[in-house]
A and B are shown apart, each in its own frame.
Chain A
Amino acid sequence: MYIIVVGAGRLGYYLIKALLDQGHEVLAIEKRANICDNITSEMGSCCIRGDGCETATLAEVGTNRADMLIAVTGDDEDNLVACQVAKHKFHVPRTIARIRNPRHEKLFKKLGVDVTVSTTNIILEHIEKELPTHLLTHLLNIEDKGLEIVEIKIPPNAITIGKAIKELSLPPESILSLIIRKAHKPIIPKASTIIRAEDQIVAVTTPDSEDALRTILRGR
């Protein structure tokens, strides 16, 4: 694949390296001359000096034959514009933007950026997983379907303990898909399955029903 990386700062640097190792054709576009020089002498002809938001620069590097453009500068606005120019002017099939402000995610999606990566959100998700007391952990977002896969732990004092799943009024679009019990094999829940303390329940839900699902399962 031909992949264009806009911004060769610290994140860009390791990204370029990893993508080259995977055998892709990679080109970085970077404004700062000294960074370009360092990358060229370390990794060969895979970096040019220029503004990755400029149509002329993107034309010169053959963006119209690129399979993917990844914008990882430190500024959300630059990443947005680089992706929009790539998408709308050069019809790049996949555009990926790094975002600093997690709240920009919706806007970027709306404006045609295919994937957004927010370091803030990634770290938050890890914090959720590391905190044993946390009630609901996001495992995976299925963005194009508006669904997410989450894990909910049943605390020892939950009032749902001892109840069958059919007795719970689960929110719409929420399905319990797996129960993991200590020292047992994972169970595919049935309507008659009884909830026990310390169950780890993996469920598919929507971002809107997430809170309701958690409240029902924990019985608060």
Chain B
Amino acid sequence: MEFHKILVPVAGVITNEEIIELADNLLAKKNKGEICAVYVISIERTLPVDAEIESEIGKAENILNNIERIAVEQGLKIDTDLLQAREAGPAIVDEAIEREADLILMGLTYKRRFGEFSLGDVVPYVLKNAPCRVILYHQVTLDEFAE
């Protein structure tokens, strides 16, 4: 199976390198197609949705810059975009619709909530509402075995 427009929501730095390589492998032809990495800043309701939170923007730009660096190293063409929204899930789904993506590729890290494994809110929302195929990529890290 091959894809032409892949949306890659990114949240941290851990799995980025692998996931971008994977996205490139899933494209129909190397560099014939689009990969777009998006970072969503969630704005809490106490602030207007267009509020500029310096610290969050700085963090997001770091992550996106890191992705651009990886892309250059691997000789890939990648678009990056920074979004602001109330919640990441609906923002990712909207972005996939707008860009007419045919795949959402999401990396996830192992999370615990109230002592139990949890997918969080974003992944289930995207799985339920995505307009296209979704692939989840779970990178096993040493930390998880330590738990």
Contact = CB atoms under 8 A, between A and B. Distances in A.
- Do any CB atoms of chain A lie under 8 A from CB atoms of chain B in the complex? yes
Contacts of B129: 41
B86 A45 contact: yes
A61 B45 contact: yes
A198 interface: no
Contacts of B128: 41
A65 B128 CA distance: 32
Contacts of B81: none
B7 to A, nearest CB: 17
Interface in A152-174: none
Contact of B90 (A44, A48, A60): A44
26 contacts: A2-B48, A25-B48, A25-B49, A27-B45, A40-B90, A41-B128, A41-B129, A44-B94, A45-B85, A45-B86, A45-B87, A45-B90, A46-B86, A48-B45, A59-B46, A60-B44, A60-B45, A61-B45, A61-B46, A62-B44, A62-B45, A62-B46, A62-B47, A64-B46, A65-B47, A65-B48
Interface string A52-64: 0000000111101
Interface of A: 2, 25, 27, 40-41, 44-46, 48, 59-62, 64-65
Interface in B44-82: 44-49
A53 B130 CA distance: 33
B103 to A, nearest CB: 20
Nearest to A40: B90
Contacts of A60: 44-46
Contacts of A40: 90
